[in-house]
Amino acid sequence: MNNFEIRELPGKGRAMIATKNFTTDEVIFEEEPFVSRQFSWNMAYGYAACDHCMRPLETVLENVRRLASDPQVEVPLLQHDPTAQWVAQFTQCPRCKVRYCSEDCLMEAQKRYHRVACMGAFRSDDTHPINVLNETWKKMHYPPETGSIMLIVRLMALYQQSTKKAEFLDHLQSFQSLIVNREQKIYHKMLGENFEQQMEQLYLAFCNAFSGEEFSMFKTPDAFKTLMAILGTNSQGIATSVLSQWVAKVSDLPLPDSEKAQLDAVIDGLYAKVGEFAGEFLNNEGSGLYLLQSKINHSCVPNACSTFPYSNDIVVLKALAPIQEGDEICISYLDECMLERSRHSRHKVLRENYVFICQCSKCRAQASDPDETSDEDDDDEMDDYEDDDDMN
């Protein structure tokens, strides 16, 4: 039984409301995604992750050496490698050789979508329509990535293999409430200045990849634009890292102060080495659609946060502060650094990335603050957003 409910709030739309009191750090819920997928460029650059749950498929030593592009780098305390317990379970699809962290993930993928999504030997065929679609996307959407057309490809496989298509379509419909009358802003953010031409190229590649009659409802221009808008507004970023897991484990070891200082220096050195080659791109990255998590509104003073403690795509929502029965449960769509910036700066990021204007208590309290970054913004664009009805 859930300890919250989804309600429609006047002037705000859907919201998650607590139906019991939560204490700080209490888990509100855990959720597996409706669908998830690793980013296209992240996969192309060799970031090894389970094709179903995104669990890392490298040992910490393999990970550090790849990220540092240095086969001589050493990592201490390998007995605390979080991947060690999984290595013996790694497996792959016998036909297409896609890799999984366990037989359970392979079976779940086969059960839900991979039976029809498996490309077999065509996985390495650059002329296959799915690969053409992916390459078309990659030429439009370079790192840092915020989405992937391959999430839509997996959605189509889920639909094709589903025995409960009406339920699937109901779930898909539930992601659409935020996108009415905002599509062009969303496409511009994902695809850039030439988004109309690029959208047409993607649409043609998509139709070629899914030529079967059973996909006809998704192949009208408006239906495809809706899928792209769902990708742009509702997908939750996912990041998994065996290195960060290892760091967390060894940092909690009960070591003497002198050894703790030596370990901290080693960790700093490892991050410096991988940073020289990989820069900020240290994680397996992808995105997912979550039926519950996507219903949570933003606040610049959030009382909850989304976490990924299992180093896979399961999201765990935890309370950041005491939450009373009847309170709205809110997360921040911004990182901690951005939350400390001015109201105008926060609004700029939110309207560009999530297509709304925040009206939380912090933003209302700062309504009279000066527009500190107003020279970077287009006042007409702000007017467009202020005309929208649904604001978080």
What pLDDT, in 10s, does the model give residues 291-320? Answer: 999 999 999 999 999 999 999 999 999 999
Res. 388: pLDDT tops 50:
no
Domain boundaries, the chain: 4-33+290-366, 35-237
Distances (CA, A) of 39 to 126, 212, 353: 18, 25, 18
* Mean pLDDT within 44-48: 95
* Mean pLDDT within 318-341: 94
pTM: 0.88
* Mean pLDDT within 184-213: 79
Distance of CA 154 to the CA centre of its chain: 14
Q: CA 257 to CA 261: how far, in whole Å?
A: 6
Q: What angle do CA 367, 302, 234 make, to 5 degrees?
A: 95
Average pLDDT, the chain: 89
pLDDT at residue number 186: 56
Q: Which CATH number fits domain 4-33+290-366: 3.30.70.100, 3.40.50.300, 3.30.1360.40, 2.170.270.10?
A: 2.170.270.10
Closest CA to 67 of 243, 310, 312, 239: 243
pLDDT at residue number 189: 57
Joined tokens for residue 117: 């999504």
Res. 11: pLDDT tops 50:
yes
pLDDT at residue number 181: 44
Q: Do the beta carbons of residue 318 and residue 28 sit within 8 Å? A: yes
Least confident segment among 183-197, 200-214, 233-247, 371-385: 371-385
* Mean pLDDT within 274-294: 94
* Mean pLDDT within 35-50: 97
CB atoms inside a 10 Å sphere around CB 354: 20
Residue 350 phi, psi dihedral angles, 5° rounding: -65, -40
| DSSP-assigned letter for residue 369 | S
